[in-house]
Amino acid sequence: MNTSFDRVRAIRWHGDHMTLLDQRLLPAQVEYLRIDTLHECAQAIGDMVVRGAPAIGIAAAYGVVLGARQAQRSAGARWCEHLYSELDYLAGARPTAVNLGWAVQRARAVLRNGPADPAPLEALAIAIHEEDIAANHRMGQLGAALMAHSGGVLTHCNTGSLATGGYGTALGVVRSAWSAGHLKRVYAGETRPWLQGARLTAWELVEDGIPVQLIADGAAAWLMRQGTVGWVVVGADRVAANGDVANKIGTYSLAVAARQHGVKFMVVAPTSTLDMSADSGEQIPIEERAPAEVLQAGGRPVAAAGAGAWNPVFDVTPAALVDILVTERGIIEQPGRKSIRQLMQR
């Protein structure tokens, strides 16, 4: 496993509690928030203390452990029954990222076996965390192998260690490609309205010593026109059975611009993000958040008083615009229903 350019961890398990790097405060402050209960975990997910589909799933798995221990203290031998009633609350913390429901479902499967204590749930959470890091390194290797002599790469939102258990999905590919000498330039879109690219991706790359150029989201198409990037590499919050990709708002625009300019478009996502129950992107719920997130920046108003705002925080990129889907199980070119089904059967 390549450990170069891999210094950041957003989720830490301490045996009796979890700490989450509060991503709302980056890059100005590096502060970990202590989480002691399932409800605190759900609140942290909803408030975007932790974000990114894999990281949300990992945090939720540890949140289940905390909830199980609390249920055991309050309900005794009936702790499993009590915990079941709490799992729906946790699963509803954010609707779009499929890893949240996936982690809760894995916990439900453990509970169906009637464990005597929460130990199997803790083992599951640790396994989910470790599996994610291993998968990210594998995807990094697979994706980077396609990027030899590609010149530059543009990424969107944050898909690195902050969004995962460690190393990252799309940013893991960038890390691996940079380590292998395949890249000359790394560009990050700022990613309004939460500025995950500016605040988080740029911070991660600087921490790892990888030079990064930040661009305004609206500059992406013009950057592609200059011929300085060969790839757009993004993550995913959910991939439908037909290959449609739900990801941070602005991803669809990048895919359209990439196709126009002959730039390859790569989606990097673990198989836990593939939702075979969603026939297409039409079945993926798209979260809308408060208009204030668009009308403000850093808590300060940036729009005219009285203006409204529409704030979908994800969009869906049709599979036809995706050149490469990279998972820990392998690579799919021009993903579609048949190729994804075959991948999931490996």
Q: CA angle at residue 186 from 183 to 191, to 5 degrees?
A: 150
Assigned token pair, 217: 């989201």
Distance between CA atoms of residues 37 and 28, nearest Å: 27
N- to C-terminal Cα distance for the chain? 22
Catalytic residues: 237
Distance between CA atoms of residues 235 and 230, nearest Å: 17
Residues 6+ apart with CB under 8 A from 259: 265, 321
Distance between CA atoms of residues 223 and 243, nearest Å: 27
- φ and ψ of 15, to 5 deg: 90, -45
Burial of 3 (0-12, 13-18, 19+ CB in 10 A): exposed
Tell me which DSSP letter residue 153 carries. E
Assigned token pair, 144: 């980077």
Contact 177, 66 (CB under 8 A): no
Assigned token pair, 301: 């108003």
